[in-house]
Structure 1
């Protein structure tokens, strides 16, 4: 994001929080889910900084931003479930700053790693929003989808809001280090899948030998 775009986003989110308080941060996060080019890496640390200034209450921010994450995710789940794969691909091709390949990568990740991607995907930029779409395609059970979305979103939101709180006026550097955190999460997902496959292969070998 350009410096002018960053400034405009900061002003917009700040205005929402000044007008609506913690619900304003929740609205911003809900829109971030619907429009992935809007980065939560900016919204959440800024909310944490606002908490550090005494203008918002920490747990209020966590509740509202997590609610916003779930609402946005459910909206995209509904898009996937109601419109289907072909219509969604055509729709996303018209969204600025998004590519059809982004949706295809999310589908592939969901197909390879299953429902756990709904949880881990909440901590990966772009995938955080788009992973809801293939979940809708596959009609993943709604209670499970909502639970995994809530848990993953709460962890992500807590980490970034807390970082913004302790960094104070330097909250903007959080965005710089999110990429490193993203690779760590992806690595953990790959490791978890590898362990799962290894256990299944070992169980099958043992059953054949017995």
Structure 2
């Protein structure tokens, strides 16, 4: 990740846009490292916190549009075939795509907004949006709102922590684990309510 932070440090806003755009297309590149680092740079460099948020949002939207366009152009069958063949190079598996698609089918446009606040899903949610041919203005609206919230939190934390900005990555991992536990708990409760009770002897 040192190379990515060096790009941001050297090229400023332009580098941040490029790295965040790549992060959206290639989920293994973590925004929880790059954006807090950019927030940290605002404490002593020429970059400003609003500028970092705008640049990160522009990069996020550009990356999201790539995956949205891919989903819309490829269709489900061709996308699954490409994922089987090349997905391991990008850290994407069929079950990742299937989960994002299922989430989108259940919650519609709100899935795009909520998905922008969930690691990994925040990138992949663009694919089912494209597959479902979600209207582009609606997709952009929910994407921008969710992305601004995510980028503001990460950049603000990086600026507030200063040299301790790497702590943000640990917090995001904890947040991701808590989301997983919450999702599993909800699923268990839902299954418990759906399963018929065994008759007493």
TM-score by length of structure 2 reads 0.83
**Distance apart, 1:98 and its partner CA:** 1.9
Once the two structures are superposed, the pairs formed by residues 43-122 of structure 1 within 5 Å of their partners are 43-93=34-84, 94-95=86-87, 96=89, 97-122=91-116
Cα distance in 1 between the residues matched to 2:48 and 2:26: 26
Q: How has the CA–CA distance of structure 1 residues 152 and 186 changed in structure 2, closer, same or farther, with 3 Å as cutoff?
A: farther
The alignment of Structure 1 onto Structure 2 pairs a total of residues equal to 181
Q: Which residue of 1 aligns with 2:17?
A: 26
Cα distance in 1 between the residues matched to 2:144 and 2:182: 21
Q: CA RMSD in A?
A: 2.1
Unpaired segments ≥5 residues, structure 2: 187-201
Question: Any conservation in 1 of the 2:35–2:158 contact (CA below 8 Å)?
Answer: yes
**Distance apart, 1:16 and its partner CA:** 1.7
Match of 2:6 among 15, 24, 28: 15
Cα distance in 2 between the residues matched to 1:185 and 1:143: 31
Once the two structures are superposed, the pairs formed by residues 115-194 of structure 1 within 5 Å of their partners are 115-182=109-176, 183=178
Cα distance in 2 between the residues matched to 1:175 and 1:55: 24
TM-score by length of structure 1 reads 0.80
Cα distance in 1 between the residues matched to 2:127 and 2:181: 19
Cα distance in 1 between the residues matched to 2:134 and 2:155: 29
**After TM superposition, where is structure 1 displaced by more than 6 Å over at least 4 residues in a row?**
none
Question: Any conservation in 2 of the 1:47–1:61 contact (CA below 8 Å)?
Answer: yes
**Distance apart, 1:187 and its partner CA:** 5.8
Unpaired segments ≥5 residues, structure 1: 1-8, 192-210
* Deviation per residue, 1:33-79 (Å, 9 max, x gap): 00001110111111111112224111111111101101100110000
Cα distance in 2 between the residues matched to 1:14 and 1:179: 19
Cα distance in 2 between the residues matched to 1:15 and 1:180: 26
- The range that moved more, 37-46 or 50-59, is 50-59
Cα distance in 1 between the residues matched to 2:134 and 2:92: 24
